Amino acid sequence: MPADKNVTPLQHEGNRHLGGPPAVWAAFQREGRWKNWVMLFQGGLLIFCVLANVHLSKRPPDVVLVDGSGGAEYVPRKLVGLDVLMAIQRAKGQPTDAEVGHVTREFLTHFAGVNSTSVETSWAAALSMMDPALASKLSREYSERKVLAALKASNSKTDLVFEDVKLIERTDTLLHVRARIRRTHSSLLTGGNPVEDVVGATVFLAVEGRNMQFPSGLRVRDISVAPYKEPPGAAPPGSGVAEINP
């Protein structure tokens, strides 16, 4: 059967060429398998990073003891009780009494310590410590009344002595501070003719987020200065009102 013999080799030859994928498709398959392993590895790495971040976010706070002079000492967590750690977590971000006292004194020094040669610089510094609403209000009032011009022309200086600074009330967002200040007004050139008075300052500090401009997170929300009078119902010593004198 010659015809059958001639057909069979052709059929076998065709089957041999069509029996498997071309070389380029085989290469794509091999590369696809490699990419699948890479994607699987990346997925596992992503899951590991998420779990690690969740674990770190639940990590208890570090504990550092700071003494009155500002020296700091790290305390291992295992030596600190759970109650202390929980209190630290609640107070995280809240300014300390020392920070409140420092900000209050610094602001009042700029605000009330008038010196004819530096009044503009001091006033700018005081404005920078206020919240925008208060700064805008007082800046407009001082401009309308020409307060800075009058102070520059007075050729006088004012020395301040902080006799008392007390934190009256504290909330998570607002602090109420009172200060008693003895002022001495004198001639800028000679220091003669000194005149003393005592004023009381009431400062409300807003607790905001800490940043490079406001490391303590405190900004002045309101301020009033008047001749000092013992406030009605003033708390006696040991009554719980926090004194933040140096």
Six-digit token string for 27: 């290469």
Confidence of residue 198 (pLDDT cuts 50, 70, 90): very high
Predicted TM-score (pTM) of the model is 0.60
Does pLDDT of 142 surpass 70? Answer: yes
CA 67 and chain centroid, separation? 22
Contacts of 196 (CB under 8 A, 6+ apart): 182, 183, 184, 185
Beta strands in 21-173 (DSSP E): 63-66, 72-75, 156-170
pLDDT at 46: 85
- What integer is the mean pLDDT of 18-42? 66
Six-digit token string for 162: 């902080």
C-alpha to C-alpha distance for 203 and 223, rounded to whole angstroms: 5
pLDDT at 163: 93
pLDDT at 136: 95
Q: What angle do CA 190, 143, 218 make, to 5 degrees?
A: 85
Percent of the chain at pLDDT exceeding 90: 32
Six-digit token string for 245: 């004198």
- What integer is the mean pLDDT of 209-232? 83
Q: Which residue has the higher pLDDT, 204 or 116?
A: 204
Instruction: Enter the DSSP assignment of 78.
Output: G
CA atoms within 13 A on the CB side of 67: 5
Mean pLDDT of the chain: 77
Does pLDDT of 44 surpass 90? Answer: no
**Residue at 1: amino acid letter:** M
Confidence of residue 18 (pLDDT cuts 50, 70, 90): very low
Q: Which residue has the higher pLDDT, 225 or 51?
A: 225
pLDDT at 14: 45
pLDDT at 199: 93
pLDDT at 166: 93
Q: Which residue has the higher pLDDT, 14 or 158?
A: 158
Lowest mean per-residue pLDDT among 75-84, 133-142, 145-154, 237-246: 237-246
Residue 165 near residue 245, CB atoms below 8 Å: yes
Q: What angle do CA 159, 163, 167 make, to 5 degrees?
A: 120
pLDDT at 127: 94
Q: Which residue has the higher pLDDT, 2 or 96?
A: 96
